[in-house]
Structure 1
Amino acid sequence: MGSNIEPLHHIRTGLTHLQRQFGPLILSAVYESQAVGFEGDNFYNLVTGFDTSMTIYQVVDILRHIEQVNGRQRYDKRFSARTLDLDLLLYDDLILKTDNLEVPRDEISQYAFVLLPLAEIAPTARHPLTGQRYIDMVKQFNHPDQPLWRINVDVTT
């Protein structure tokens, strides 16, 4: 989950919607990072986990709806400012790649703002493709060009 447009507001409302749809959530800390791929305000990011009996496609539809309700505009540009970005990183140990959906997300191994909060809530879980534990992936992650810092904010409503 990420936002760089009124980030506390959109993250809080996004979490409220997620909790209504999926019940109890596991939350990482909130991390702040610079915008990647474009000039813009810093992002707030966190990873949430939840259990569901819904299909992966139902979950993705709900995530897109929550983004839309929070004013998310989808542009052709991949990197742009966002009110709310909800990416499905994992769905158990499923490996799936279609034109519109990729699980696990490549971003897990590419971006500190994804990997660090994921490793915080699921340190010993294993990446479905590599078999590596997320905590070990963090130890091996070497991207000094991706500064990331934990911030002390309350995202509960």
Structure 2
Amino acid sequence: MAEVYVSIGSNIEPELHVTAALDALQDHFGELQVSSVFESESVGFDGDCFLNLVVGFNTALAVGELSLLLKRVESENGRVKNAPKFCSRTLDIDILTYDEQVGNIDGVSLPRSEILENAFVLWPLAEVAGNKVHPQILKTYAQLWQAFDRSQKLKPVDFIWQGETVSPMKSAI
């Protein structure tokens, strides 16, 4: 079984689509590690704020199979195929890490470069996988978050999933 971390983001009916993503991931993979949910401004375009989080789980699927499954979940939630990279979206699910694999595997670049570029990826990843080591940088995600430029506006927000508060976590990093 591979240990996987994915990012989830939405700025079109985000509560609905983030909930749908969490439900779908739980249906496919069982127990999930769920970070706090963060509100962030859109990056690269003018648009509504996003809700972002990171989810960890174990899977027997290969990287390519997992990528296809995540694309299907996006599509089932109204994601427009071939839309511009910087635009509003119902749901975006990206594989951040797959065990300690590095490189282009089945068309997926691992680990995902956005880990080191965007607070809305690194902060929630540091929450759920703070002691895990970035396979290229060789620092933990908690260390990377501590050293990260905090100029991107990002804040944890209240989020309820399946009747339970998953956000904000009591011990924010």
Q: TM > 0.5 between the two?
A: yes
Q: Contact between 1:2 and 1:84, CA under 8 Å: does it hold in 2?
A: yes
Question: What secondary structure, in the 3-state scheme, does the structure 2 residue paired with 1:51 have?
Answer: strand
Q: Contact between 1:127 and 1:134, CA under 8 Å: does it hold in 2?
A: yes
CA distance in 2, matches of 1:142, 1:97: 27
1:3 aligned residue: 10
Q: Contact between 2:63 and 2:106, CA under 8 Å: does it hold in 1?
A: no
Following TM superposition, by how much is the alpha carbon of 1:143 offset from its aligned partner in structure 2, in angstroms?
Answer: 4.1
Q: Which moved more, 1:33-42 or 1:70-79?
A: 70-79
Verify: 1:100 aligned to 2:111, yes or no: no
1:137 aligned residue: 144
1:3-152 counterparts in 2 under 5 A? 3-97=10-104, 100-144=107-151, 146-152=152-158
Q: What amino acid does structure 2 have at the position aligned with 1:148? A: L
Following TM superposition, by how much is the alpha carbon of 1:58 offset from its aligned partner in structure 2, in angstroms?
Answer: 1.0
| Count, aligned residues | 156
Q: Deviations over 1:41-98 (max 9, x none)?
A: 0000000000011111111111000000000013352111010000000000001226
Give me the TM-score of the superposition, normalised by structure 2: 0.86
More strand per residue: 1 or 2? 2
Q: What amino acid does structure 1 have at the position aligned with 2:24? A: H
RMSD: 1.3
List 4+ stretches of structure 1 deviating above 3 A.
Answer: none
Verify: 1:156 aligned to 2:162, yes or no: yes
CA distance in 1, matches of 2:127, 2:80: 29
Q: Contact between 1:33 and 1:148, CA under 8 Å: does it hold in 2?
A: yes
Following TM superposition, by how much is the alpha carbon of 1:100 offset from its aligned partner in structure 2, in angstroms?
Answer: 3.3
CA distance in 2, matches of 1:80, 1:143: 23
Question: What secondary structure, in the 3-state scheme, does the structure 2 residue paired with 1:88 have?
Answer: strand
In structure 1, stretches of 5+ residues that fail to align are none
CA distance in 1, matches of 2:60, 2:82: 31
Change (3 A) 1:7 1:129: same
Question: What secondary structure, in the 3-state scheme, does the structure 2 residue paired with 1:87 have?
Answer: strand
CA distance in 2, matches of 1:64, 1:93: 22
CA distance in 1, matches of 2:61, 2:105: 19
Give me the TM-score of the superposition, normalised by structure 1: 0.95
CA distance in 2, matches of 1:118, 1:143: 15
Q: Which moved more, 1:72-81 or 1:24-33?
A: 72-81
